[in-house]
């Protein structure tokens, strides 16, 4: 592969590197380029088609089936998180939380697909994760990550007219 992306992919953080190695994933140019897409916009979510378009735009020649397998493998080893986009009948991918962070609820805007991590989740919300891990442990399973996502429309996407109705009427 002679084509190089115009910009070097972002450095892979050590904890992601560890998970890649544990899963036996080699750090190929394609892997780094795909990770670079997500690391460049940690709030972003990408469908397979969007990831393919971005990589192609950056000059990376990647086969769509190869990209599919790569995204799936990155999701399987916990580097990416995969969730269904019901409207578009497709999968969307985003960076997964580091396991030590515990439960960080995410809010995803269905209009612009930006993700907001609600790191200021309350104590009871965080306790939900602990309770779920205990339940799993009782059954002999080993939980690694809890994902709580809320869907809706973000402040930037709610039409101004609709926002106005929330203000008290004079
Ligand atoms: Zn939005």
Residue 36 DSSP SS3: helix
138 compared with 1, residue with greater pLDDT: 138
Distance 76 CA to ligand 1 centre (A): 28
Residues 74, 25: Cα–Cα separation, whole Å: 8
Distance 117 CA to ligand 1 centre (A): 14
The predicted structure's pLDDT at residue 1: 45
Ranges 15-19, 53-57, 128-132, most confident: 53-57
Q: How confident is the model at residue 137 (pLDDT cuts 50, 70, 90)?
A: confident
Listed residues: CB within 5 A of ion ligand 1: 109, 111-112, 154, 157
CA of 33 to the centre of ligand 1 (A): 26
pTM across the whole model: 0.61
The helix/strand/coil state of 81 is: strand
Check residue 160 and give its pLDDT. 73
Question: Ligand 1 centre from 29 Cα, in Å?
Answer: 32
Domains, in order of start, for the chain: 1-96 (1.10.10.10), 101-170 (3.30.1490.190)
What pLDDT digit, counting tens, does each position of 16-54 carry? 888 888 888 888 889 999 999 999 887 789 999 999 999
CA proximity to 83, closest of 99, 70, 96, 73 = 96
């Amino acid at each position: 592969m002679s084509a190089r992306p115009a910009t070097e992919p972002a450095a892979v953080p050590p904890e992601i590197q560890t998970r890649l190695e544990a899963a036996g994933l080699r750090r190929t140019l394609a892997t780094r380029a795909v990770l670079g897409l997500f690391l460049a916009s940690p709030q972003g979510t990408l469908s397979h088609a969007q990831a393919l378009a971005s990589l192609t735009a950056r000059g990376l020649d990647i086969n769509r089936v190869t990209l599919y397998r790569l995204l799936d493998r990155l999701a399987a080893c916990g580097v990416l998180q995969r969730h269904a986009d019901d409207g578009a009948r497709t999968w969307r991918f985003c960076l997964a939380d580091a396991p030590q962070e515990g439960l960080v609820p995410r809010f995803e805007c269905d209009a612009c697909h930006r993700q907001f991590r609600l790191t200021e989740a309350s104590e009871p919300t965080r306790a939900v994760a602990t309770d779920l891990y205990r339940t799993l442990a009782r059954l002999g399973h080993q939980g690694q990550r809890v994902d709580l996502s809320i869907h809706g429309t973000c402040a930037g996407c709610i039409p101004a007219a609709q926002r106005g109705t929330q203000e008290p009427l004079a």
